[in-house]
Amino acid sequence: MTHFAQITDGIVATVIVAEQQHIDDHCSGTWVQTSYNTRGGVHYGQDGEPDSGVALRFNYAGIGHTYDAARDAFIAPKPYPSWVLDEATCQWAAPTPHPDDGKIYIWDEGSTAWVEVTE
């Protein structure tokens, strides 16, 4: 079985599991195949590690995501106004990298910075 996203005005309206023949015979509108194993343009195996599978449309489609036909990519909604789209992965990135010091951080849009969680 395969996952398909129904696209309405460039937005994912629903995602179903079906055979291509079912889509062809019974589903009207625009349907685009998606892969739940694809994130950031990389295909992942059941162990969560990258594998040699085909990365399909950069990211798995979710309801409310955009389907960018020019990029042939599913893109999640922008989480914060300051974040920018990483063209290589079609994922949103903070304007400053997440600290890599083992501590827990949350994004603070007011200061456009990562803030350590201390509680």
Domain ranges of the chain: 1-69, 78-119
The candidate with the shortest Cα–Cα distance to 39, out of 48, 31, 30, 47, is 48
Helix (H) and strand (E) counts for the chain? 1, 11
pTM reported for the whole predicted model? 0.90
What is the pLDDT tens value at each position of the chain, 119 positions in all? 799 999 999 999 999 999 999 999 999 999 999 999 999 999 999 999 999 999 999 999 999 999 999 999 999 999 999 999 999 999 999 999 999 999 999 999 999 999 999 98
